Amino acid sequence: MTETITGTNRSAGVSQTELLDQDTHPVAAALREESREGIAEGNTRVPAWYYTSREFHDLEVEKLWSRVWQLACLEEEIPNVGDYHVYEIAEMSFLVVRTDAGPGGIKAYRNACLHRGRLLRETHGKGARNIRCPFHGWAWNLDGSMKEIPCEWDFPSLRKEDYSLPEASVDTWDGFVFINPDRDAAPLAEFLDGFDRHFEKYPFARKVKVAHVEKIMKCNWKACQEAFMEAYHVVATHPTLMESLGDANTRYDTWGNFSRAISPQVIDSPHLDGMAKYEVDPDGKQYVRYRHPMNGHIYERVDVDSPGSNSRVRIIDLDGHDSLFEVDGTHVSGPITQADPHLLIWIGGPSPDGVFDIPVMRKPDVESAVEARAMTAELRRADWMQRAGGDIDPSQFSDADFVDAIWYSVFPNWSPWGTFNPLQYRFRPNGNDPDSCIFEVMMFVPWGDQANRPDPAKVTRLGPDDDWTLAPELGPTAKIFQQDSVNLPHVQTGLKNQEQQEVIFANYNETKIRHFWEHLYQWLEIGPTDVAVEPPSRR
């Protein structure tokens, strides 16, 4: 790869600002806005044990999860009086209940009986008339007030008015329900200040959740989230994206409690600048046979009859010689003894049904990136218009809206993507285990007939060793998540093995992560992050 130093916070090549200036459609002011609010310049250094320690996890429970606004569910998931949703974070469980049909008719209670502590509900439900504990039958009205106690005579010291269910703060934003265990928390609107303007042209509430996958990951929730907060890893982890994504030219912006990344698409990675260009493989298939963009080697799946299982991978070098590898990187035969582990997974790993005939994605055959992006955007405008009917006017959105990877991070753990990308992420601790977490991938799409919306998608749950392709609702996108997931357990192990016991984040390319840590340090009340340009030995 090439290191394209420019003396700025970008690699060589076209910048996002230049692309926006040449866009063929109107560009929203929020998309043009550049901001470094609340972040110091330099490298952020974080002790490695912050990802592995139960002590640090307990501090997060006490000072972060017990006090911060966090996404719990959709309003649409509890549409009727008596509907409820169980939301869990670390050791805490909350029951989010629709108490009446009017605005603000949602409450969240601690999900524990005030008698012996049993969970009041273990999963989501519909149409409850009251909240009755399955153990001894103590019951509460939907508004949280005590309803009845079997053998009430046996509790002479108890007053019903003192035994209402403890509440958390609740508010909604654009169809989402947020809770905060702190009943004295500042309003959600204040916490999300400025976020609305990034989605004002097409609100989230007009979209429908068509997929929701929840997977246990063998790493800390912060390490998992950080893997999806930057494009810096694309050059090593996602080689199939390098000919269509300007990874090293991603623009990063920060505001109060949220940040944004914009990775330009339908352009080459700056890492390919100055490198040999290889002829298009005439037999190329996106998930079966792919030419590595950096060395020209062709990776080919051996077993195309079993898409749901692993296959060996044949690597054909520039001289036409074959080498054979297991999908885990084990060399079987041939002159090439080292292979790209992520391209092995891409080609040789399990795949969803029906993808093996998909051709290699290619940019339009035009001279300029601007023209290629405009042509790609027009195809996507037509697709979204078909999905949304008359619900949107796609001509009012820029090429960048339709083409580029635009994704946000809302502190502490929610990551919605831009208007026309369906993805959203949420990251949560897996109970009290600092070495694992729950990673959720959701997909939201525009829906034209708002009067006949389908129910939100139910959750598909995957275990720590399950392949993402076991969630077919994600389509080919599951292959990308599998590439990322291979790294993360090894990150968690390596954090414990580091001699220097320190993680260092890039000044610009890991801006969103650094912004996250600035906020986390404030919430945990442990002082500012250690930001420095020089390594510790030189300070």
pLDDT reading at 532 higher than 60: yes
209 three-state secondary structure: strand
Q: Are residues 302 and 212 in the same domain?
A: no
377-381, long-range: CB < 8 A, 24+ apart: 377/24, 377/25, 377/401, 377/402, 377/403, 380/420
Q: Are residues 431 and 490 in the same domain?
A: yes
Q: Are residues 152 and 208 in the same domain?
A: no
- The reply to whether 278 falls in a domain is no
- pLDDT by residue (tens digit) across 252-266? 999 999 999 999 999
Residue after which a domain boundary falls, among 160, 191, 222: 191
Q: Which two tokens stand for residue 309?
A: 């299982």
Beta-carbon contacts of residue 136 (< 8 Å; ≥ 6 apart): 113, 115, 116, 150
- pLDDT by residue (tens digit) across 440-468? 999 999 888 888 999 999 999 999 999 99
Q: Are residues 391 and 435 in the same domain?
A: yes
For residue 377, what is the domain's CATH number?
Answer: 3.90.380
Q: Are residues 444 and 526 in the same domain?
A: yes
Quick one: average pLDDT of 171-194? 97
- The reply to whether 151 falls in a domain is yes
- pLDDT by residue (tens digit) across 90-144? 999 999 999 998 777 999 999 999 999 999 999 999 999 999 999 999 999 999 9
Q: What is the pTM of this model?
A: 0.95
Q: Are residues 233 and 382 in the same domain?
A: yes
Q: Are residues 389 and 505 in the same domain?
A: yes
Q: Are residues 251 and 333 in the same domain?
A: no
Q: Are residues 483 and 457 in the same domain?
A: yes
For residue 120, what is the domain's CATH number?
Answer: 2.102.10.10
pLDDT at 362: 80
pLDDT reading at 6 higher than 70: no
- What is the distance, to the nearest Å, from the Cα of residue 459 to the centroid of all Cα atoms in its chain? 16
Residue after which a domain boundary falls, among 299, 315, 348: 348
Going by C-alpha positions, the residue among 356, 292, 299 that lies closest to residue 326 is 299
Q: Are residues 388 and 493 in the same domain?
A: yes
pLDDT reading at 539 higher than 60: no
- The reply to whether 281 falls in a domain is no
Overall domain count for the chain: 3
Helix axes 477-497, 341-348, angle to 10 degrees: 140
- The reply to whether 487 falls in a domain is yes
Q: Are residues 490 and 390 in the same domain?
A: yes
Average predicted confidence (pLDDT) for the chain: 93
Provide the pLDDT confidence category of residue 31 given band limits of 50, 70 and 90. Answer: very high
- The reply to whether 360 falls in a domain is no
- pLDDT by residue (tens digit) across 340-395? 999 999 999 999 999 999 999 887 888 788 899 999 999 999 888 877 777 778 88
Q: Are residues 128 and 204 in the same domain?
A: no
| Structural domain boundaries, residue 220 | 16-52+199-272+366-535
pLDDT at 418: 93
Helix H or strand E segment including 522: helix 511-524
pLDDT at 102: 76
- The reply to whether 496 falls in a domain is yes
